[in-house]
Structure 1
Amino acid sequence: MSRKLVVTGASGFVGRALALRLLGEGEQVLGLCRSEGEVGVPVATVPSFDDAQALRQPLNEAEVVVHCAARVHVMQDTAEDPLSIFRQVNRDMTLTLARQAAESGARRFVFLSSIKVNGESTSGRSPFQPDENVRPEDPYGISKLEAEQGLRELASETGMEVVIIRPPLVYGPGVKGNFASMIRLVEKGLPLPLGATHNQRSLMALDNLVDLIITCIDHPAAANQVFLAGDGEDLSTTELLRAVAGAMGKPARLVPVPAGLLMAGATLLGKKAVAQRVLGSLQVDISKARTLLGWAPPLSVEEGLKRCLTDH
């Protein structure tokens, strides 16, 4: 009989892809969600992940819990106290879930964190490392870091193994947010002033992230470790736009405007944070996952973009 694996956020972008892949590999998968949604695997709904009583039954006999559910980063957060809400969902609910998992006998808890724990930019420095000092700069990153810290304490207290994965921007079929907006702009064939942007950014194809998570479910060396995730191919924004256009079979209409000029204009318009994400660098070093786990991204960026755009 197959073991029981629980995936939270199984109706979401990453959780659904993971749950379906595990089911396809013959695993007994239970999706754990706070609301009903089309998943394709058996699902248990709970009113909140901070309700330990409600979590007891779905977590019963689970060997591994993979926690993908989260309050995600948003560019224009209208909450009166964003940090408080992020802490409630991403820290407090995570720790309630993990403690109940430990009490239910789970062997391992895999936590999908974020590269925002490390910081926002690697411009002028080397790529982020998994075990360096971290400097989150926004409420989302802070809440994820505090969840990580609480999970480490829980692992020491209970003996349940914890694995932390910090991905950068993840793209794939059904992607939303800024990546989807970029796809739409390229699709329309609009001229974009990004033909001379020489930054370097790490991205991660959804299938690559799912593959790394599955590796971390069982690999003995993953226990109580932090891994940075990525495709292993860093691109400038200019290169990314050309790659997206190429995957669509469309020309990339890029105007070579100096990045400094774009940043100055965006700052004047109150869009500095957006410009930093487009023009700045954010690189991750995935060598720890390569050496410790023997893992390598199965998809190239080119292959990942083709899969992303197939269902667009």
Structure 2
Amino acid sequence: MKVLVTGATGFVGRALVAHLLTLPQFEVRAAVRASGVERLPAGVQHVQVGDLDASTDWHTALAGIDAVVHLAARVHVMHEQAVDPLHAFRQVNVVGSTRLAQMAAQAGVQRLVFLSSIKVNGESTPAHQPFCETSPCAPQDGYSISKLETEQALQNVVRGSGLALTILRPPLVYGLGVGANFAALARAVARGTPLPLGYIDNQRSLLAVDNLVDLIATCLTHPAAAHQTLMVSDGEDLSTTALVQRIARAMDRPARLLPAPIWMLMTAATLLGRRAAAQRLCGNLQIDSRKARTLLGWIPPVTVDEGLRRALVDYRP
């Protein structure tokens, strides 16, 4: 099977390309922008497609391709410069992805795996009430709104065509080279910084990048994955307190946790303009991934502890 991977130079893309290269049933082609080719494994075939928008020319990239894994997207922007962020998200994620799907269907591509986000369902869950595939959608920011609209647009494109769509909704994905909040937490633990996170009794689902790419590979060939939306996680939910402890253990370092009350954390975060970040640390966000396991017979190959060990190998003393 010849597979085109968009967003191949990103965090998940690099891991996916490397994983598919180990499987003899796949030939891999990477779709890249003007830069970042040096981050691909040596010798990987690649095609420059430029930016993802309404004018992207996918003809060369799609030639002879059997399946597409669509990872490229406009993601969260730390210092947003766009006058209308939602419009910017839509132009890339919705319009650009719709064009890709249309051209893939015209080219005779058989399978499209689209990486969405659990954020299309919302930012949090009630205790012990995880999101599942039948949960209502409640996106709360431009990124998640555009992800939901992209799902809907792709479903419209493939309807009546020979292109089978699989949508995956992951939570926070961690692994070697990940950035953002996970990396910031890892750096704090590595430095021995005391963290006021020792009294948080929440539950959050996570996903090791090795588990994600294994499921993507399964979805590329499994007949039952066609036209399905699947939640995916490691299958073991952790409190923020437990996550810090497990990160520290993966690094062979002590976890320096202070038992600060949650109300104190939220008050301080609100005063510092970081209330949303504190809510993510203190709130629940759980995923029920049983459908992927039962429908596809998929078992995550990596445990949380092993996933953290692989992600944090550079932090070990």
Asked if residue 98 in structure 1 is aligned to residue 91 in structure 2, the reply is no
Question: Over aligned residues, Cα RMSD in angstroms?
Answer: 1.4
Q: Could you say if the C-alpha distance between residues 53 and 186 of structure 1 is closer, same or farther in structure 2, counting changes exceeding 3 Å?
A: closer
Matched residue, 2:88: 85
Matched residue, 1:123: 126
1:34-113 alignment to 2 at 5 Å? Answer: 34-37=33-36, 38=38, 39-40=40-41, 41-50=44-53, 54-113=57-116
- Cα offset, 1:76, TM superposition: 4.4
Asked if residue 255 in structure 1 is aligned to residue 254 in structure 2, the reply is no
- Answer whether contact 1:49 1:55 (CA < 8 A) is retained: no
Larger mean Cα displacement after TM superposition, 257-266 or 240-249: 257-266
Task: Structure 2: give runs of 5+ residues left out of the alignment.
Answer: none
What letter matches 2:309 in structure 1? K
Matched residue, 2:20: 22
TM-score by length of 1: 0.96
- Cα offset, 1:28, TM superposition: 1.2
Larger mean Cα displacement after TM superposition, 146-155 or 40-49: 40-49
Correspondent of 2:205 among 202, 206, 210 = 202
SS at match of 1:7: strand
Larger mean Cα displacement after TM superposition, 217-226 or 259-268: 259-268
Moved over 3 A (4+): 49-53
What letter matches 1:73 in structure 2? H
Correspondent of 1:183 among 181, 186, 193 = 186
2-side partners of 1:191 and 1:29: how far apart?
A: 44
Correspondent of 1:291 among 281, 290, 294 = 294
Using the aligned pairs only, state the percent identity. 54
- Answer whether contact 2:237 2:286 (CA < 8 A) is retained: yes
- Cα offset, 1:311, TM superposition: 3.7
Matched residue, 1:13: 11
2-side partners of 1:181 and 1:205: how far apart?
A: 17
- Cα offset, 1:260, TM superposition: 2.0
- Answer whether contact 1:174 1:311 (CA < 8 A) is retained: no
Larger mean Cα displacement after TM superposition, 226-235 or 265-274: 265-274
- Answer whether contact 2:47 2:60 (CA < 8 A) is retained: no
Matched residue, 2:236: 233
SS at match of 1:54: coil
- Cα offset, 1:234, TM superposition: 0.3
TM-score by length of 2: 0.95
2-side partners of 1:78 and 1:185: how far apart?
A: 28
Q: Could you say if the C-alpha distance between residues 236 and 28 of structure 1 is closer, same or farther in structure 2, counting changes exceeding 3 Å?
A: same
Matched residue, 1:213: 216
SS at match of 2:249: helix
What letter matches 1:36 in structure 2? S
What letter matches 1:33 in structure 2? V
1-side partners of 2:81 and 2:181: how far apart?
A: 18
2-side partners of 1:156 and 1:311: how far apart?
A: 46
1-side partners of 2:264 and 2:126: how far apart?
A: 17
Q: Deviations over 1:130-161 (max 9, x none)?
A: 22211000000000000000111111132310
What letter matches 2:296 in structure 1? L
- Answer whether contact 2:200 2:239 (CA < 8 A) is retained: yes
- Answer whether contact 2:127 2:203 (CA < 8 A) is retained: no
Matched residue, 1:150: 153
1-side partners of 2:314 and 2:64: how far apart?
A: 36
Q: Deviations over 1:213-252 (max 9, x none)?
A: 1111111111000011110000000000000001111110
Larger mean Cα displacement after TM superposition, 153-162 or 124-133: 124-133
Asked if residue 32 in structure 1 is aligned to residue 61 in structure 2, the reply is no
**Aligned residues between the structures:** 310
